Amino acid sequence: MSNIVADFQTLKDLEFPIIREWLSDFAVGETARIRLEELTPSNRSNEINEALFRVNELKSIRMEGETFPRIEFEELHEEIKLIPIHNASVQLDGFMRIHLASNLVNNLLYFFDKQEDEYPLLSEIVMEAHFTKEIVEAIEKVFDKHGHVKDDASIELASIRSSIRSLRKQINRNFDKEARKLLKDNILGETKETFINDRRVLTVLSQHKRRISGSVVGSSKTGSLTYIEPQINIPLNNELELLMDDERKEIFKILQELRKELKEHLPLIKSYQNILTELDFINAKCRLAIQLEANLPSILEHQELEITEAYHPILWKSNKAQNKHTYPQVIKMDKFSRMLVISGPNAGGKSITLKSIGLLQIMLQSGLLVPVHLNSKMCFFDQILSDIGDNQSIENELSTYSYRLKRMKTFLDVSNRKTLLLLDEFGTGSDPDLGGALAESIFESFYNKKCFGVVTTHYANIKLKADQLRNAVNGCMLFNSETLEPTYTFSVGQPGSSFTFEVAEMNGIPPDIIEDAKSKLDSKKVNMDRLLNDLQKEKTYLERLNKEHIEAQKLAQNALNDYEESKSKYDEKLKQHRVQAEINNKFIHSGKKMKSFIDRYNLKSRKKTINHALLEDVKKYIAVEKSKIEAATQSKKAKEKAQHTSKSKKNTKSEVDQFQRDQIKLGSRVKLIATKQVGNVEEISKENITVTFGFLRMKVDREKLMWVETK
């Protein structure tokens, strides 16, 4: 990626070099590591989108537990350079690196062949190569699994190695025989033998060296031991060296043949290098995204930010290591609220909120997923400009204020509607009144250039100016007005009080000094700060009431759900009891009828016709009961048919209702089915949807809502 979006100072101010360090630690090879260490944001939307979606595809593969090959390889720069050169000597491990790369790319091709439609951008990278076993088979024909040249790599090599093994056996037999004989005569040293120049030699006590037939090849430092090669092995060892030289020449010849064979596949081997280093680069980004629990927000073509559950990644990771909670932020900026002025006491989180916005934007435009909620929306800026902290220039003898003014001058020259400004403690460093007036004018100039900006300040005139300008908005970091402890929660709509005197009082400054300080100020300024203080107290109180109301409503809804569930169970049981009672009553009635027949039956009379009337009554009763059963069966079938027709209609209605519910998005207007209240969707978390009904904000199950319209 090219085009300078943020200068070195901005990247440093926003601590982006730390993100690059994390990324480089995840890289496997040097090529990806260097790219990640030099990673910078871009304003080329097509390139950024492609980079983001590639990382997101790989993250999906990892998170869904797909059987994806591990990105483990060694780069092929040296091999690619040597393979085309006549008689060039490619190292043994070089061939094994090519073997590993070919196997890995083949596995990747196999994976994406079945998943090309699901992961099109990653598939596109891998499809630079093609599947082949020729490279792997050619290398495996020469090398074993340990990376050693096989005996049968050629007929000549097999013969040479067979001779070497035979000769070594003979040398060892001769040596062992000689050593046993000398050991009996007690003329060998304690170690008995050693190796010199890869030859097995005897360790002989120097006073006995003339008794040994052989060649002296050295002695110990003290001279007490002499190393002697037995005479019988000297010609054999000479022959062994000649055979080993033959072996080296034959291996060189074999490897040259293999190099020539691989030369035919050089374009493919180059593609292995490109594919694996690119995937290494993407994989490092993916591993960081998983570690930071980062997501891909919706990318808008126009300038707008709507990020929820946003975390400053460095703060989040640091707090997580210390088991501390990190407070997420909700930030919304669009053409109607493009200049955001954040005020409030020090240590309340103003700067971290500003830095969060800046760092997340830098990360996004560097092709990195960001730690925000999936439903967040972000865009791309042509420039991201920051002025944060105390940046004195000792080299140019500039004070902090002079440095900041020079930076403001640069910003004024280059800012436009596609610029994101991040100005921390805007206007400080000079006389409060004069510096504040200049800061107000600069602020208005930035506003007129239609750029986006996040500004933190203590100046009342900047807060007032933000309130007056149509497309600027005040915001503050909330404090607990009773304990004066920060809540680290950002709130839009009003400037924040500095709590200067309250903080001073809590830290033990005597009341008379505080009152004296107040008397030295313009009463309007004191009253304004008090008003802001009171407003924040009131807002905190109302938010607490609203939260309690939502929780109470949730409890009531849960109780109602429990009641309805219990009632449904009891109604079902009652229905079952009633059905069983009806069945039992039928059995009782039938039993009584049959008992009356039994009582009428005459066993004593010898008349054959005495029971004819009774039997006729029994037949009539059975016929009537059977006709009732058949009628009931027909009625049941008719009812089931009607229910099936009704169910089909209900299913159609259910499909329509489901379609309606699927239309519900962020910003949609929806209707609560039970009460017919209409509200706006603020947040969606799976099937739980947060809806604002006027001043009431509550979470509702998706199935209890009806879509009205999408804004």
Residues 466, 493: contact at Cβ < 8 Å? Answer: no
**What value does the mean pLDDT take over residues 180-208?**
84
Per-residue pLDDT of 605-653, as tens digits, reads: 767 777 777 777 778 878 877 877 787 788 777 777 777 666 555 555 5
- pLDDT for 661 beyond 80: no
pLDDT at 605: 72
pLDDT at 390: 54
**How far apart are alpha carbons 340 and 330 in whole angstroms?**
13
pLDDT at 396: 42
Rg over alpha carbons for the chain, rounded to the nearest Å, is 44
When comparing pLDDT for 548 and 503, which is higher?
548
Residues 442, 423: contact at Cβ < 8 Å? Answer: no
pLDDT at 399: 59
- pLDDT for 393 beyond 50: no
**How far apart are alpha carbons 129 and 267 in whole angstroms?**
9
Q: What is the percent of the chain where pLDDT is above 70?
A: 84
* Reported confidence tier of residue 392, pLDDT bands at 50, 70, 90: very low
- pLDDT for 80 beyond 90: yes
Least confident of 48-52, 182-186, 485-489: 485-489
Please give the backbone phi and psi of residue 383, each rounded to the nearest 5 degrees, phi first. Answer: -140, 140
**What value does the mean pLDDT take over residues 80-107?**
94
- Among 23-32, 223-232, 390-399, 551-560, top mean pLDDT goes to 23-32
When comparing pLDDT for 545 and 244, which is higher?
244
* Cα angle, residue 505 at apex, residues 504 and 509 outer, rounded to 5°: 75
pLDDT at 652: 53
* Reported confidence tier of residue 510, pLDDT bands at 50, 70, 90: confident
When comparing pLDDT for 695 and 213, which is higher?
213
Least confident of 12-21, 295-304, 375-384, 452-461: 452-461
- pLDDT for 1 beyond 60: no
- pLDDT for 395 beyond 50: no
Please give the backbone phi and psi of residue 704, each rounded to the nearest 5 degrees, phi first. Answer: -95, 5
533 contact partners, CB below 8 Å, separation of at least 6? 481, 497, 499, 502
Helix, strand, coil shares, percent, the chain, to 5? 55, 15, 25
**What value does the mean pLDDT take over residues 342-346?**
75
Residues 58, 282: contact at Cβ < 8 Å? Answer: yes
Per-residue pLDDT of 439-493, as tens digits, reads: 888 899 999 999 999 998 888 888 888 888 999 998 877 766 555 555 667 777 6
**How far apart are alpha carbons 400 and 428 in whole angstroms?**
9
Sheet holding 199-205, edge to edge: 188-196, 199-205, 225-230, 214-219
Strand pairing category for 214-219 and 225-230: antiparallel
- Among 7-16, 484-493, 502-511, top mean pLDDT goes to 7-16
pLDDT at 656: 56
- pLDDT for 602 beyond 80: no
pLDDT at 692: 82
**CB neighbours of residue 304 within 10 Å:** 18
pLDDT at 53: 95
CA dihedral sign, ordered 672, 677, 678, 682:
negative
pLDDT at 648: 57
- pLDDT for 222 beyond 80: yes
Residues 489, 477: contact at Cβ < 8 Å? Answer: yes
Please list the residues that pair with 199 across neighbouring strands: 196
pLDDT at 58: 95
**How far apart are alpha carbons 221 and 163 in whole angstroms?**
36
pLDDT at 246: 95
670 contact partners, CB below 8 Å, separation of at least 6? 664, 678, 679, 680, 681, 689, 691, 705, 706, 707, 708
The CA-to-CA distance between both ends of the chain, in Å, stands at 35
Residues 149, 253: contact at Cβ < 8 Å? Answer: no
Burial class (CB in 10 A: 0-12, 13-18, 19+), 574: exposed
**How far apart are alpha carbons 552 and 245 in whole angstroms?**
90
Q: Which two tokens stand for residue 41?
A: 């944001």
**How far apart are alpha carbons 220 and 200 in whole angstroms?**
16
pLDDT at 659: 64
Place of tokens 């500039």: 398
Domains and CATH numbers, the chain: 27-152+258-292 (no CATH), 154-248 (1.10.1420), 298-496 (3.40.50.300), 663-711 (2.30.30)
**How far apart are alpha carbons 454 and 431 in whole angstroms?**
23
When comparing pLDDT for 433 and 528, which is higher?
433
pLDDT at 60: 93
Alpha-carbon distance values, 136 to 93, 131, 202 (Å):
14, 11, 46
pLDDT at 642: 73
Per-residue pLDDT of 256-310, as tens digits, reads: 999 999 999 999 999 999 999 999 999 999 999 999 999 999 999 999 999 999 9
- pLDDT for 521 beyond 60: no
pLDDT at 260: 94
pLDDT at 141: 95
**How far apart are alpha carbons 610 and 696 in whole angstroms?**
86
Sheet holding 452-456, edge to edge: 383-387, 419-423, 452-456, 339-343, 472-479, 486-492
